[in-house]
Each structure stands twice: as structure tokens, then as C-alpha cells.
Amino acid sequence: MLLSFSITNWKSYAETAEFSMIATREQRYGDRLTRVGRQRVLPVTAIYGANAAGKSTFVRALAALRDIVVGARRPGATLPAFPHLPDGKTQPSRFEIDFLVDIETKTSRRREVTLVYEVEFDRRQIRYEALLIRRQKTEDYLFERTGKHVVLDSEFQNNQRVVAHTEVISDNETVLGAVGSDEDVEPSFFTAAYSWFAQQLTVIFPSSEFVHLPALFDADELFAQAMNAGLSRADTGISELVLEEMKVSMLPLEAEQVDELINKLEEDGGAFIVGGETRDYAVLDIADERPRARRLVARHDISTGPHEESEGFNLHLREESDGTQRFMNLLPVLFQLRQEDLRGVFVIDELENSMHPKLTEEFIRIFLDELGEAQRRQLIFTTHEIQLMRSDILRRDEIWLAEKERGQTQLTRVSDFSRDGVRKDADLLSSYMSGRLGGVPRV
């Protein structure tokens, strides 16, 4: 889980802006919060603000941090450093993140630990980097790096493979990425931290598409049923999604490319997902010893009368409305978030993009259903949808405001306004729209 995240000198964030998922003392909806030791962690957070206030920049900062750790980068390639102009042009950017991971101990028992990762960088190099473990009363460095000089905790000083990475580290490469991604390094804090960035932190933008939808729909019957139920419940007009066979020659590939894929399928089995610019994704596999291509289409049924069978038609997904396509791409996220054993953080920019307000609200409510102190999953999103800013949906500490002052973005939690009379049962929407809390356009 994400516990906190701070941004310094990155795009519109000049001075350090701190974001936290640690709950306040507020008791409303306390049964859906996660218990981590003595702390309570929020499962959901909404970030509001005027256009160009820094909401999407916050999401891009998390994506940039993930890329710095996980992304493959050639020696000499630039890092995603975008210092605040003009104040921080000559200064490095800095991210710091606290997160909760599962780690396997030497006795093969698993336990939860809080890790802190810090990185300071410019376009050409990592200037500073550190990974710490936060205990109840202390913080201990697992490694600390300044320039190319790396100091390892005594636990790793005799690990030849870890030491080897630190001795040949590139200017634009992170120690966490180099060591954590090495499959020959025994499970450790490095591998747990790297896996959190690589597998458990998912960042979704308005243009993001769930390209694995056809393959997952084909392979998982329960997933297919859940998708169809979700689309039907949302009144999209779609009765079900079906895989419709198409000519292999219709795939958006050159004939030589198709032949190469078919040869690989005949040798190794499995399936390929093939897509183009039209948002049509197809599954290519081998069935009955011949290549088969199928694309996902939406089935629409039209009732012709109370005693007559319904008529229907299939529609390519690219021809569905933008709102339906957006909801369809977010539904798999919702199903993943509700898996009992899932531990992960989904960060969505402009959650309501192209969707009706009731559809967005339904998405949040489905996620919040059945949450409890044992769950380890989170949903963080930016939005303009003010109908979500209600005390019957979100707590005050689950709502943040991004506001730009003198060209710099500041982040404020609505619960910070409690001393100004914004009570837990207050009309948050009215307070926000009146400009009393900030984060609205000055028009």
C-alpha cells in the first residue's frame, strides 16, 4: 500500500508537496480502513482542483518515479527530470515515497514492513538515492548512494552480486532497479521494493487501454461473467461481450508478420494479442490445427415485444461511445481491486473522463463494498466530478485539493479545514463550490 508521497522541484511542484494516505482520527467509515500496526490507512482518495492546478502532474510524478525504478534505460539516456521553472531550473528534482510491502524472512515466514525510497535526480544522473526500513521507533538505511558512491547495510556487504551491481552502476541507473530486477538476487528488501513498483503500482491515464481484455475474457469464465454483469448493471446498452471470429488476413499486420506469429504459435502454443490504432484488439491462436483470429465485440439486444424473441446486433468496440469504452477499460481494474488476495495501488487520472456522473459514482461504490481492515488495496484518482464530494461517499481525509499559487502547486487535505468549521457531516460540496476551500477556478 502507498502510505505517503512527496514531490519537490518537479514541474509545477516547486516546494515540497506532501500527500498522505494515513487516516486522521475521524471515525466515519472506520470499518473500511486498513489496519497497519497502530495506523489506519485509507483505501481511497480523490484529488480535486481547477484545470492546470497540478492534479495530472501528481499522477505523472508517480508514473515518472515508477519509470525511474523499473524502466530500462541506455547509458546516457535522459531521466524524466522537469524542474520547476524558473525557481528550480538548476536544482535536482526529488521524490520520496513510503510504502508497505510483504517480505519473506529467513525463516520463510512473511511479514509486512514499511519501506521508504528517496531519489534525487536531474536529466543526466541520479544524484542521491536511498532505501530505508521504517520501524516503530527507528529508521535504518538498507543502502544510501551519493553520486556513484554506494554504502550498503551490513546485511548486503557480503552479497557479491549486490556489491557487483553497486560497483558498475550507471549515472542514470538506480541501485534499486539494478539489484531488485536481478532474478539471481535472493528475495530481500531490494526485490520486495522493486516488485512493488513493477507489479503493484499501476498508473492509468485517460488514454490508457486494457489491451489484455480479449485474452483474459477468453481464458477466464468468471472474469467474462463479471464483465458482462458490470456492463449490464451500468446500463451501457451492451447485453454481453463476445469473441467473434474474423479472417486472419484482416489483422492489422503485414502477411510476413502474421506468418511469423503463426510459426511461433505452432512451436510454443499460447496466444498473441494483436491490436492497431482503431482500438480493435484480437486474439490469435491455434484451434483445430489451424490459425484462428477472434476480436471482442459488444452484443446489443433489442426487444421487439413482450412475447417475442429479442433481436440484436454486434458492434465493434471502436464504435462504442467514449464513455462506454472508458468504463470497459476500467472494469477489469475494479475486478482486480476486489480480488481477496490482491495487494496493489491503482492511480487513475481523470476517473470520470467521458463517463456519466452516476457511472463514476457506481464505480467508487463497487470498490468500497466489502472493504475492511484486512484488505491491502487502494484506489487514488483525480477528478472534476463534484457529485463525489459528499460525506455519504468519502471521508474528509479522503479528499485532497490541488491549487496553484504564484505558479506553484500546493496540496491540501479537506480534513485540514476542520478547524475552520468543516465538520465531518458538513456540506462539502457547497463549501468547495463557494471557493471556501480553494481548488476551484477563479472566474
CATH number of the domain bearing residue 174: 3.40.50
177 and 253 share one domain: no
17 and 97 share one domain: yes
Q: What is the pLDDT of residue 227?
A: 85
Q: What is the pLDDT of residue 420?
A: 52
In a domain, 255, yes or no: yes
- pLDDT one-digit tens code per residue, 192-222: 999 999 999 999 998 888 777 888 888 888 8
47 and 136 share one domain: yes
195 and 247 share one domain: no
Question: How far from chain centre, in Å, is Cα 324?
Answer: 20
Q: What is the pLDDT of residue 53?
A: 92
Distance CA 109, CA 374 (A): 18
pLDDT, average across residues 414-426: 65
45 and 120 share one domain: yes
Q: What is the mean pLDDT of the chain?
A: 87
Distances (CA, A) of 308 to 10, 171, 303, 313, 392: 62, 71, 8, 16, 43
Percent of the chain exceeding pLDDT 90 equals 49
At 443, the pLDDT band (50, 70, 90 cuts) reads: very low
In a domain, 390, yes or no: yes
pLDDT, average across residues 226-234: 81
Cβ neighbours for 430, distance < 8 A, ≥ 6 positions apart: none
* Final residue of a structural domain among 327, 358, 377: 327
118 and 249 share one domain: no
The answer to whether 53 and 404 are in contact (CB under 8 A) is yes
Q: What is the pLDDT of residue 432?
A: 61
At 312, the pLDDT band (50, 70, 90 cuts) reads: confident
At 439, the pLDDT band (50, 70, 90 cuts) reads: low
pLDDT of 429 above 70? no
In a domain, 338, yes or no: no
Distance CA 258, CA 413 (A): 53
Q: What is the pLDDT of residue 244?
A: 92
CB atoms near residue 285 (< 10 Å)? 17
The answer to whether 212 and 117 are in contact (CB under 8 A) is no
In a domain, 133, yes or no: yes
Q: Which of 127, 133, 126, 125 is nearest to 156 (CA)?
A: 133
252 and 233 share one domain: yes
In a domain, 439, yes or no: no
Which residue type occupies 21? M
48 and 184 share one domain: yes
pTM of the model: 0.86
- pLDDT one-digit tens code per residue, 75-123: 889 999 999 988 889 999 999 999 999 887 665 577 889 999 999 999 9
Count: domains in the chain: 2
157 and 51 share one domain: yes
- pLDDT one-digit tens code per residue, 123-181: 999 999 999 999 878 899 999 999 999 999 998 999 999 999 999 999 999 999 999 99
Q: What is the pLDDT of residue 113?
A: 93
Q: What is the pLDDT of residue 302?
A: 75
163 and 54 share one domain: yes
Least confident of 160-174, 280-294, 312-326: 312-326
At 418, the pLDDT band (50, 70, 90 cuts) reads: low
Residue for grid cell 509545477 = 12
132 and 265 share one domain: no
User: Range of 274's domain?
Assistant: 213-327
Distance CA 429, CA 390 (A): 6
pLDDT of 267 above 80? yes
Least confident of 28-42, 169-183, 270-284, 325-339: 325-339
Q: What is the pLDDT of residue 431?
A: 62
In a domain, 333, yes or no: no
In a domain, 399, yes or no: yes
Q: What is the pLDDT of residue 179?
A: 95
In a domain, 177, yes or no: yes
132 and 155 share one domain: yes
